Structures are given as C-alpha cells and as structure tokens.
Structure 1
Amino acid sequence: ATIRHGSKRNIRTTPMEHFQEVRLIKLENENDLLTSEATHLNYDPGDVVLIMPQNSPASVAKFLALLSSEDRSVENRLLPESVLQLSVLHEDMPIPECLKKPFRLSDCAQNYWDLNAIPRRYLFEVLAYVTTNELEKEKLLELSSSTGQEELYSYCNRPRRTMVEVLADFPYATA
C-alpha cells in the first residue's frame, strides 16, 4: 500500500564526528494534517519502508524556469507541462517501470532528478559538448579535466553548489 507522509522530525542520532550517519525520522501522515486523530500503520517485523524524497518546490521552479526561459529558442524550450516518453536505446539499460508511461517534465523534476546534488566531473564534460559559447566551453573543459579537479572542488564541493545553480551559471550550455 502507498501512503504519503511528510517528515515531522529528522534527527541525526550519531555524533557529528562519527563516520556513519544514522537518522531517526518521524513521519506525518496526510490524514494527521486533516484530523486530530493519528492514523496508525500496522506493520510486522521484516516489513520495509521505502522513502521517496522530493525536490523542494523552489528548486523545481528554478530548474523549470531555466528550461522554459524566453531566452531559449522555441524548439529548445521545455515547458513544465511538456510530456516526455522514454525509449530503450540499449537492451542493457532498461527503463524503470515507473518511467515507462508518458510523464510530465515537472513530475520528473520533482520526483526523480536530484536537483540538489553536487555535480560531478561528467556533467561539465557534457555541458562543454553542448555549449555554443567558447568561453563557457573553455571553462567547462577545464572543470571536467583531470588537471582541473582542484578548481572543480573549489567551484562545486566547497560551496556545495547544486545542479540547478551550475546550470544557471552556464546559460549557453542550457539554452
């Protein structure tokens, strides 16, 4: 059964200096928000809970604004309500069951893509390939090179720059 919950509390239970992070997450049922009675879940030992995080509405809005910007050419503009359909390009890379049906871009951005991830080197390589601006291309190639790893760390990891922030910093690559 699928029951939607928000988190009431998300507390780290291990000390900050401990190498492993363990958390106590208290869930809030949708029904808890509507009535004063809590809905109790029945579960047995060995049952599994799957937690599916979602991106914040602010991150999704910023990402979708980049893709639907008036600065983009009409043929490259992706609107939040755009419907996407995935197809298999290689038999070793099957499409997950939940993405076999057509879906809206906004749903994918909210539920599947990690917009708050710190980008890795490969993203900069891909952006360098698609950008139409030589200055951007030069910077992206530097960040994706083995010699540019210190620069990549300073740009992405140290300030904890997100995927959306990086895409906003390279407008020609996202156009």
Structure 2
Amino acid sequence: MNKITILLLASILIGFTACSSRKQSRNEEVAEFRSQLTIEDTTTMLKLCDDAMEALKAKNIDKVLASLCEYTDSTKEVKPLSKETAQRYRRQFTMFPVLSYERKYYSFQLEGCNDVKYEVVFATAEQAGTDQPAKTAYMFNPVKIDGQWRLCVKTADEEIDKTMH
C-alpha cells in the first residue's frame, strides 16, 4: 500500500472512532440522567403533558400557551414562548383542535431533551369525509432544570428518541 492509501484508511478509522466515542458518551449521559429519575419524576412529567392535552381538548389554548416554554440547550435556559412561537402554536392548536388524544409514548433522554408524543384526533370521520377520523401528532419536551419539570415545546431541530418510533 502506498502512503496516501494508508493515510486515507487511518483518517477513516479515526473518524469512525470519534463518532462512536461521541455516541457512547451520549449514551452514557442518557443512562446517567435516567438513573437519577424517580417514579415521582415520571408522574410529574406525564401530568404536565396530560394536563396540557386536557386543556387543549377543553379549547383552553391560552392556558396551554401560557404554560409552554422554550428551552435552549447550550445555556440550559427555560423561557416563555416568544411571540412568534406562541402564534405558530396558536395556529396549530386552532387548525388541529384536540377532540380526543392518546399518549403514544414517552422517553427520558437528558435534562433538556425528553419526548412525550400524543396521537390527536382533530376531526371525526364524518367531518373528514372519510371512514377514519383525521389525526395528527403533538409532541412535548418536558425538561428538568434545577430539579423542577417544565413543559417545553419540541422543535424540528431537537433530537428525539428514534428508538420509540
């Protein structure tokens, strides 16, 4: 083998090693976070999400919007929804009202990255003009910061637990 081939192979191996060790450290972080959780954490986190879904079902969108936060992972900051984000969710909750819902799964990942996913019926089969009701999915990101659970929105660029889909 010539020197260029050896260097190329070495670079590829280093790249694979770096990726797998980074993945391993995330797995270790997830395992550590999960090991610190209690049954009370699960109960509290699910109650926050279920209460939000019940409020949406009762068409109390303002209550839900007031309880939702945005989370910034780099600073570990939880803040109220921006006007733009609140408006986007108001449109979503209005266009796809919660007639009924079912929690599909929940997953603990890290203090600022967790999944609670619901299947939402937003139109009956009759309203939709089909033999099945019209459905969508809502997902929340409950975060545990300074020992307290807060209900945050899940954005498209945040990681989700791909093993749960």
TM-score, normalised relative to structure 1: 0.25
Q: Normalized per residue, which structure has more helix?
A: 2
Q: Normalized per residue, which structure has more strand?
A: 2
TM-score, normalised relative to structure 2: 0.26
